[in-house]
Structure 1
Amino acid sequence: MGRAEERRARQRGGHRAAPQRRRSIPETGNGSAGLAPGGGPRKSLLRRIFSWKKVLGTFFGLCLLCIGGFAAAYMLVDIPAGNDLAKQESNVYKYSDGTLLARVGTTNRESVDLDKVPLDVQHTFVAAENKSFYTDSGVDLRGLARGLYNTAMGRGTQGGSTITQQYVKNYYLNQDQTVTRKLKEMVISLKVDQKKSKSEILAGYINTSYYGRGAYGIQAAAQAYYRTDAQKLTVEQGAYLAALLQAPSQYDWAVATPTGKRLVQARWNYVLDNMVKQHWLDAGKRQAMKFPQPKEPKGTPGEQGTKGYLVELANQQLEDRLVAQEGISRKDAVQQVVDRGWTITLNIDKKKQAALEAAVKEQLTGRLAPKQRRADADVQAGAVSVDPRTGRIVALYGGQDYFKHYYNNATRTDYQPASTFKPVIFAAALQQGSVTQDGKPINADTVYDGTSGRQVVDHGGKVGFGPPNEDHADYGNITVQKAMNDSVNSVFAQMGVDVGMDKVMGTAKELGMDTTGMQAVPAQTLGSMGASPLEMAGIYATFDNHGYKVTPSILKAAEQKDRKADIADPIGGPVISRTTADSVTSVLTGVVDDGTANRTVAHNPLRAGQQVAGKTGTSDCDRSAWFTGYTPDLVTSVGLFGEAAKAGGPGCDGGTVRKGDHVTLSGLMGGGRVNGGGPPAQIWASYTFGVTHAAKFDLNTSQGAAVETPTPTTSPSQSPSQSPSQSPSGTPPTSTSTSPSQSPSRTPTQSPSQTPTQSPSQSPTTQLPTGGPTTQNPLQLGSPQQQEQRQP
């Protein structure tokens, strides 16, 4: 049809399809470019390579390969002979010089038949670890695949394991985290599930697991935690032992932190709730159940006296390293450390350790009369001594006898550090370049109102907090240096708000305090959180080390026959600037020479020219008393804790005292009230001055008592405009070499009996002249999230 015909057809309403346009095809030699041999369009390269037939064929080929590989492994891998008992070897612990400290490893194990364990107690372990145990094939394929992937990617074990797999790992294999070991575990678990009954597997599991306290197996655990046999365990007790397996060292009620106690109780509830869901436990009986608090533990051979505390911390830090280094769980780390033939060399200096123990005996335990004085029976002492340049723990005192008091007083965090926290507040102020309510920089010479009970203000508004000073002493207008010397609560409460409590707690975290669960509230300025001598020693060691982070370590080396642990460097990077750290040190020399530690430390006859910085601390009702101090080469934190040795009598807050409660130390050794400048400082001085030599701090600061600067003489009634002229602003920071016993530039400090001339309603601060410029740090510290406050 021609064009004319097409036009006529359209005019008549006809609909003829327009002819398709032909795409021009370049001519080639054969005239068929872009066409398949059959004349159709040619397939793309990608479609030729990845056709659906090839993809499907490859998939099935891989499946067959995996099936064949598994079949071969299943035929080649046999169930090995049980070797768990052969693996139980003594751990050897050595002092830093290589001499023997302790040998620990007599295995506490007694296997029992499953029919000797109540059925309800059996069910607690199944509910805790593997609810499908009675019906599964012995392997959790999804968990195993996840574990294999994580292991191959170097992420550690994050997949679940059945009871059968855990039994196989405990009894037939080891705790290594390799793909080969995981595959062996799967094959052996399948075979064990086929050849052994579920009762035999469950019995093997509960008899080979480690429960902490040196106890292997449920019988040893029942005795260690409840002083009973496995056949007499209640379901509540069984649920605790089942919960314990997840983290034996962290969940042991006797030594658990508040967080650990909360977690193990949550795990205990989880176990019992699962039993209800599985119809193994009546819901009504479940609701009536109460947490069964375990009995006090006993030590194991080789850990008698003070040695057990050293061994405990060494094991703990080695477990931490394995968790971090190999990505394994805490449960597996414990299994790898306890009685596994390690040779562990500690940083403990044999002579310093002996000197610390002698100082505690001389100044405290040798003078106690527990039958005559209640406080003498209730006192517990803890101390940690650290080399600030290396971060090594050179001496540690956890208590008189590990067999009699299992709780390590050197690492416990259930008592308030009290005023030993004040230097952290001052460090935060300097680090953040903070100012007072009137916009004046905070430094050692800043003046605050030291009136006892003065309400803290925040830019005109009160925050509802006005802490009293000790003995309700009113100091009037005093410098920060004087407030640190005399530990004036009202000053540091206001300073904390001036800085911002989130920044204060952020600095505490950066310095090494565990701030988990702590709220950033003004009450924390009193040191009302929990802390340990180990934590406080690390914080002060960071001050001593010019702001470089010190994480105290007791581990020098740890090795097995074919394995070495990677020991982390205790010294990290700077968390506060040198100027900040050195300014804190300079101010803390005033506490020793002119403040609360003057009598016991500054004028101690054993002192031979050592320059000393430190801070005392005494908590509410004298429940704890502290002295954390340092020389240029040694930092030591000493804490005394009132822990009720028996029940009975009134407590500080009313009510009847229960055994283990926090109680007052008043009346200790026949004296009156106890404070940080008393027995703790006496222990510190007796030890430190016996093992250190004359040395002076190398300080890069123009602030504080260690630096010879003119002391302001302005009376408290004068306003800032009436103060003497300020020192030249260009004065550079200086390195001090002032002897601690010489302070010719200092004027007598104000007596607490002086009546303040500034009313609490007035502006809380006045700026007095300093001996040089205040250095603001470039480092900015993050602030932790505000969380629920941890109770002391």
Structure 2
Amino acid sequence: MGRADARRAAGSGGIRRLFTWRKILGTFFGFCLLVMGAFAALYFYVDVPEANAQAQKQSNVYKYSDGSLLARTGSGVNREIVDLAVVPKKVQHAFVAAENKSFYRDQGVDLKGTTRGLLNTLSGKGKQGGSTITQQYVKNYYLTQDRTVTRKLKELVISLKVDQRMEKDDILAGYLNTVYYGRGANGIQAAAQAYYGVDAEDLDVSQGAYLAALLQAPSQYDWAYANKTGKKLVKDRWAYTLDNMVDEGWLTKSERAGLTFPVPESPRPAPGLDGQAGYLVEAANQEMARQGITEEMREAGGWTITLNIDKKKQKQLERSVEAELENQLDRKGSKTDATVQAGATSVDPKTGKVLALYGGVGATEHWVSNATRQDYQPASTFKPLVLASALENGAKTRNGERIGLDTVYDGTSKRPVVGSDTPFAPQNEDDISYTDPTVQTALNKSINSVFAQMVVDVTPSAVKKTALSLGVPDKNFPERPAITLGTMNASTWDMAGVYATLDNHGKKVTPAIVKSAEHRDRTMEPVDTIGGQVISRASADTVTKGMTGVVDNGSGHEANTPAYDAAGKTGTSEDNKSAWFAGYTPELTTVVALFGESTAEGGGQVSLTGTANSGRANGGGFPARIWADYTLEALGGGSDAAFDLEGVERGEAPVRRAPSTPPAQSPTPRETPTEEPEEPSESPSTPPAEESSPPATPSDTPSWTPSGTPTAPESPEEEQPPGERPQDQLPGSR
């Protein structure tokens, strides 16, 4: 053997000595031990972290009383976490069949799939793939979507630990609530709404299988956007999912054969806060705040808030405002029409539930809700409360006659009140004086002079006490005779509660818009809507009886119809800045108001006179017509329900004893008024003009007490400084 051969033999032997099977196996096992050791160290080093903030984000969901979706607000993530028990069992199984058939048997990881995913990541091949449901849950809930080896290793370790520590159902629930389905929907509840317009609990197995199939490629498999290939792929995966369910025993072959592909609905914009939705949401939020749910708690998300709002009545109220007001306005061409703001609140008087609410032209255009704002006066809608206080306190006129519907008062316009330290002499509408009007007539015609004297007879403090007990807010509420003109501030919401209490026979009604507010960690205590008896049934029912006359024969006749029994009161505030109609049937209480709001920067109250070229504003016009149109439709075209009135107090009706003033047989204006009335600006077809009071002036002539005995004014007024007038002599209130 030559030297060359010897060298080759020696080299070959050296290689064999270097790479013996023993050494190769030893190296392999050593590497395995090293990997196992590294993994063991990693296992003990990596702990289950806190959930990432994104996975915990939820929107707040607002619903109508029937459960249909009103709006979603909150974190910017369209997610509503639901318990697994809410999701039908077969829908749960559809997701398992599509994503991880061995889910209920495995240890939370798929080593083969994870290895493939790691190799794909190292080689830059995009999607990692191969993850179990547990791993996907861990990625979504605890980690990020980063495609790195470190993240993948953490996912593996955490998945093993999560599988050991959590029940399979809890893992599946977490997965269903965190995974992204497309269409901006995070979690199965949002997905069910986005694709099928139902809640997760109402999904059927066929729909569930589509949502499960969708997860592989949400954008490509969305039926609304998928091309021909995408539609074929998603139908194939849908079928694959159902076939796997049959294999696992979760679906019978006959059930499978009867299923057809459930084409999802077309995408719709997520319900936002435009239109009336914003006003409803804001009212609900305000009520939650009053019940202890702070803004911080609410903005954390995850609330499901069901409102008392009846969807049909809500839409009807919107249509009534549109038909009876907005269609008559020229907001672009008329400076007056541009200032008109409408608000309304409708309440069930037996339960206190707010059934409908109108806040304005739209919450994204005029965010201040005209239904709940408290910066305008309720005007003469306050007068029935004066009567209620008189009845409740057994008040008497100046000559000792008990006050009731038949009690006669002096209806002279600008008549100074008798018995008050604060002088007040309000003018009646059009400065008309009335001969011997009864309280019923004074209600029908809204005679200022009668109710001004009645406040004094009852005392302003007693009237205020009654009003507060009925629900008028204690806001800018003086104790002076002028309160008869509703000179305090109140909202349609407030006055709806007041009138609902009268409708409910004097039992306190507190309007509530939230039916329930639920969170996984807490719930809201509901508002106690029905309270105790704040005035007697006899007092409340007598006021109701009186206000039926307003609708039947008085300033509220636009609301009159044989289709239902109704009681109500009109009101127009100082300088026509607001116009109201507050009324009720035995089943429904609704208050409608118009407000004049300047369009100039900074706003401010302006007159409604000339709205839609209709002359002087009054509550018997647009507000009463809106009320009537809404009420008729809200009651389904009418109602046979009649007012159940008890103990109606007729009062005392003495004959006038003034020889120069014969008793009037009917409530008509005097033939010779004390002053020539102004010509009404309305056309002959407009309803009877309501009360108004331009600057009142104390009279030096004797005035008539309710008994008809001429008397001089009691206690001369203090001389007023030049240029000033008594505070209560407000112009234009009615």
TM-score class normalised by the smaller sequence: 0.5 to 0.7
Question: Counterpart amino acid of 1:502?
Answer: S
Question: Cα distance 1:762–1:667, how it changes in 2: closer, same or farther (>3 A)?
Answer: closer
String of CA shifts for 1:693-726, please: whole Å, max 9, x gaps.
Answer: 232100003346xxxx9x9695684699x989xx
- Verify: 1:675 aligned to 2:618, yes or no: yes
Say if 2:71 and 2:271, in contact at 8 Å, map to a contact too.
Answer: no
- Please tell me whether residue 371 in structure 1 is matched to residue 332 in structure 2: yes
Which runs of 5 or more residues in structure 1 are unaligned?
1-77, 109-299, 324-332, 647-657, 725-746, 769-787
Question: Superposition pairs for residues 263-412 of structure 1, below 5 Å?
Answer: 302-322=272-292, 333-412=294-373
What are the Cα deviations for residues 163-215 of structure 1, in whole angstroms up to 9, with x where unaligned?
A: xxxxxxxxxxxxxxxxxxxxxxxxxxxxxxxxxxxxxxxxxxxxxxxxxxxxx
Look up the match of 2:582.
628
| Residue of structure 2 in register with 1:591 after alignment | 550
**Counterpart secondary structure, 1:617:** strand
Partner of 2:559: 601
Whole-angstrom distance in 1 between the partners of 2:512 and 2:541: 23
Q: Which residue of 2 aligns with 1:433?
A: 394
Deviations 1:133-175 (A, max 9, x none): xxxxxxxxxxxxxxxxxxxxxxxxxxxxxxxxxxxxxxxxxxx
**Equivalent of residue 619 in structure 1, options 573, 577, 590:** 573
2:667 pairs, out of 749, 757, 773, with 749
Structure having the higher Rg: 2
Structure 1 pair 340/616, CA: closer, same or farther in 2 (3 Å)?
A: same
Whole-angstrom CA distance in 2 between matches of 1:585 and 1:493: 20
Give the aligned partner of residue 264 of structure 1: none
CA distance in 2, matches of 1:752, 1:567: 54
Query: Identity over the aligned pairs, expressed in percent?
Result: 48
TM-score (norm 2): 0.57
Q: Offset of 1:505 from its aligned partner?
A: 0.7
From the superposition, tell whether residues 422 and 84 of structure 1 become closer, same or farther in structure 2 (CA, over 3 Å): farther
* Aligned with 2:436 (options 466, 477, 499): 477
Conserved in 1, the CA contact under 8 Å of 2:559 and 2:624? yes
Structure 2 equivalent of residue 465 of structure 1? 424
Three-state SS of the structure 2 residue aligned to 1:448 is: coil
Letter in 2 for 1:554: I
Equivalent pairs counted in the alignment come to: 449
CA distance, structure 1, for counterparts of residue 53 and residue 496 of structure 2: 40
Question: 1:547–1:577: 8 Å Cα contact kept in structure 2?
Answer: yes
Name the amino acid aligned to 1:480.
V
Write the distance in 2 (CA, Å) between the matches of 1:763 and 1:715.
10
Deviating more after overlay: 492-501 vs 750-759: 750-759
Partner of 1:643: 597
CA displacement at 1:337 relative to structure 2: 1.6
**Deviation by residue 1:338-361 (Cα, 9 ceiling, x = unmatched):** 352100110000110011000000
Equivalent position of 1:105 in the other structure: 74
**Contact 2:404 2:649 survives alignment (8 Å):** yes
Q: Which residue of 2 aligns with 1:702?
A: 648
CA contact (8 A) 1:476 1:716 kept: no
**C-alpha displacement at 1:466, in angstroms?**
0.8
Q: Structure 2 vs 1, CA of residues 575 and 754 (structure 1 numbering), >3 Å: closer, same or farther? A: farther
User: 1:521 maps to what in 2?
Assistant: 480
Deviations 1:368-398 (A, max 9, x none): 1122211110000000000000110000000
8 Å contact from structure 2 (residues 341, 597) kept in 1: yes
SS in 2 for 1:765: coil
SS of the residue 1:564 aligns to: coil
1:455-488 deviation line (CA, Å, top 9, x unaligned): 1111xx6631111111111113211111111011
Residue 491 of structure 1: aligned partner: 450
One-letter amino acid of the counterpart of residue 547, structure 1: G
The alignment's TM-score, normalised by the length of structure 1, stands at 0.53
Letter in 1 for 2:355: V
Q: Distance in 2 between matches of 1:691 and 1:529?
A: 31
Q: For the residues of structure 1 that align with 2:612 and 2:308, how far apart are their CA atoms?
A: 33
Contact residue 541 and residue 648 of structure 2 kept, 8 A: no
Q: Residue deviations 1:411-459, cap 9 Å, x none?
A: 001011000000111101000111111121111111111111111111x
Say if 1:83 and 1:318 are closer, same or farther in 2 by CA, change over 3 A.
farther
Q: What is the DSSP-based 3-state SS (H/G/I as helix, E as strand, rest coil) of the residue aligned with 1:697? A: coil
Q: CA RMSD in A?
A: 3.2
Given that 1:383 and 1:639 are in contact with CA atoms closer than 8 Å, whether structure 2 keeps it comes out as yes
- Conservation of the 8 A alpha-carbon contact between 1:355 and 1:687: yes
3-state SS of paired residue (1:581): helix
- Supply the distance in 1 between the matched residues of 2:53 and 2:328 (Cα, whole angstroms): 48
What letter corresponds to residue 98 of structure 1 in structure 2?
Answer: G
Please report how far the alpha carbon of residue 544 of structure 1 lies from its aligned counterpart in structure 2 after TM superposition: 0.4
The structure 1 residue matched to 2:634, chosen from 680, 686, 691, is 691
Contact between 1:666 and 1:674, CA under 8 Å: does it hold in 2? yes
AA aligned to 2:626 is: I
Contact 1:373-1:670 within 8 A present in 2 as well: no
Counterpart CA distance in 2 for 1:759 and 1:401 is 52
1:547 to 497, 501, 506: 506
Once the two structures are TM-superposed, the CA of residue 587 in structure 1 deviates from its matched residue by 0.3
Deviation at 1:753, TM superposition (A): 4.9
Q: CA 1:611–1:407 in structure 2 vs 1: closer, same or farther (change >3 Å)?
A: same
Return the letter of the residue paired with 1:350. Answer: K
Do residues 533 (structure 1) and 533 (structure 2) align?
no
Distance 1:679 1:699 in 2: 29
Contact residue 424 and residue 508 of structure 1 kept, 8 A: yes
Give the letter for the 2:449 counterpart.
Answer: S
1:94 maps to which residue? 63
